[in-house]
Amino acid sequence: MKRDPRRAVRAPVARLRTVGVIRSVLKALGKAPRQGAEGAPDAWLEVRPWAEKALRGLAAGDQIVVITWLHRARRDVLEVHPRSDPRNPLTGVFATRSPDRPNPLGLHTVTVRAIDGTRLRIGPIEAIDGTPVVDIKAVWT
């Protein structure tokens, strides 16, 4: 069977697994700050029990990058008016931090406030309640 080159480039490269979920007082997108530094609250990151060993060595006070899957974002958007302000010129999503993009990954640099088993208290973070977490990385300072 002949391979369609257009299909090939759009083919999924990989499937993400949820390693955790955000539990936040932010319940709706409209009320969430656009970035963590803009008055976002702390939240809980509940890590799945099967991934518990991956937390070994993390401690309160650490800086981490949390990568979320922005499940409410649109994947068919390639250009936006930054910060949803029509006065801002139309800009490619790769030149912005818009949540709308082909793979809506969110990057959040946060501080670990406390650890309770597989639950991390982290912040500040603008992700809404129920946002899936797909990776956690150390930040080197």
Nearer to its own copies, 25 or 138 (CB): 138
Q: Which of 3, 10, 31, 87 binds its own copies (CB under 8 A)?
A: 10
Binding flag, residue 7, its own copies (CB under 8 A): no
Among 29, 38, 60, 103, binds its own copies (CB under 8 A): 103
The C-alpha angle with vertex 103 and arms to 76 and 123, in degrees rounded to 5, equals 125
Stretch that binds its own copies, among 10-18, 23-31, 122-130 (CB under 8 A): 10-18
Q: In b/e form, how buried is each residue of 17-50, taking b as 16+ CB within 10 angstroms?
A: eebbbbebebeeeeebeeebeeebeebbbbbeee
Instruction: Rule CB under 8 A: say whether 111 interacts with its own copies.
Output: no
Q: Does 17 bind its own copies (CB under 8 A)?
A: yes
Build a one-symbol-per-residue string for 37-76: x at contacts with its own copies by CB under 8 A, - elsewhere.
----------xxxxx-xxxxxx---x-xx-x-x-x-----
Distance CA 58, CA 138 (A): 9
* Helix, strand, or coil (residue 110): strand
| Cβ contacts of 49 within 8 Å, gap of 6 or more | 118
Distances (CA, A) of 119 to 35, 47, 57, 132: 22, 6, 14, 14
Footprint of its own copies (CB under 8 A): 9-19, 47-51, 53-58, 62, 64-65, 67, 69, 71, 78-79, 89-97, 101-103, 105, 107, 132, 134-138, 140
